[in-house]
Amino acid sequence: MTQTVRDADAYILFELANTTYAIRSGDVQHMEMVEHITPVPNAPAHVEGVVFSRGQVVPAVNLRLRFGFPRAPYTLRSRLIVVQVEERRVGLIVDAAREFRNISADTIRAPNESITGLSGQYLAGIANIGDRVVLLLNIPEVIKSGVEVSSAEPALAEN
């Protein structure tokens, strides 16, 4: 599934490791504070575990670890952004998220070709908003590679 940032203009902005990122609001189900996370055996390192969110068990992915940044303690500003792409629902743990913003297509640029590897796949575009550079995420790519959503469910069934 290819995501085009030019089709939508509403985004949720969030902070991660002193950088501003954005997710298309259409991909976001809801946001909540990071509370109790239940660890899941044999999960990838960036999958903190699962959370019970609005009646569903959802894998919780630490985006800091997913993107190769050092782990940081959760604070009162930390948020779980629950996204859904097709049948996959995943909670993304971020440092802070409090801004909803319309981003016009003319401020969005394609990622530079010099960005290689997985980090380039995660980016749908780069926008300039005032004096900020905002990295627009390609959520299907972020949750596709290495986030074994189905591996969390059998572990729960065995207990």
- The string of pLDDT tens digits covering residues 55-108 is 899 999 999 999 889 999 999 999 999 999 888 899 999 999 989 999 988 888
What pLDDT is recorded for position 110? 84
Mean pLDDT of the chain: 83
CATH code linked to domain 5-158: 2.40.50.180
Closest-CA residue to 126 (of 111, 142, 104)? 111
DSSP assignments along 26-55, one per residue: GGEEEEEE----B--TT--TTEEEEEEETT
- Identify whether the C-beta of residue 151 lies closer than 8 Å to the C-beta of residue 49: no
Distance separating the N- and C-terminal Cα atoms of the chain:
35
Query: Of the ranges 62-66, 95-99, 131-135, 140-144, which one carries the lowest mean pLDDT score?
Result: 140-144
> Is residue 155 pLDDT above 50, yes or no?
no
Domain boundaries, the chain: 5-158
